[in-house]
């Protein structure tokens, strides 16, 4: 599910992507990072360490 939110009190790290149920936070996400998050984290279960907060 995709939902619009506020800044999670981390506005300086935005845009932020939060993946549940793991609760992994990704910061300073660019449009180019979305495919990597989808491929690595969502499909393979591998955290994208370079973006992790």
- Number of other CB atoms surrounding residue 51 within 10 Å: 20
Q: Looking at residue 47, what is its pLDDT?
A: 98
Burial class (CB in 10 A: 0-12, 13-18, 19+), 25: middle
- pLDDT at position 8 is 73
For 19-42, what is each residue's pLDDT tens digit?
A: 999 999 999 999 999 999 999 999
Q: In the chain, where are the structural domains located?
A: 11-51
CATH class of 11-51: alpha beta
Cα gap 5→46, rounded to integer Å: 24
Task: Give how far the C-alpha of residue 16 lies from the chain's centroid of Cα atoms, to the nearest Å.
Answer: 6
Per-residue model confidence as pLDDT tens digits over 3-20? 788 777 888 898 999 999
The answer to whether 33 touches 47, Cβ cutoff 8 Å, is no
Q: Which residue, among 46, 49, 1, has the nearest Cα to 26 in the 3D structure?
A: 49
């Amino acid at each position: 599910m995709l939902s619009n939110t506020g800044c999670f009190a981390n506005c300086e790290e935005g845009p932020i992507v939060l993946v549940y149920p793991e609760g992994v936070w990704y910061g300073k996400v660019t449009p180019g990072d979305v495919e990597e998050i989808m491929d690595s984290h969502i499909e393979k279960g591998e955290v994208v360490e370079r973006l992790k907060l």
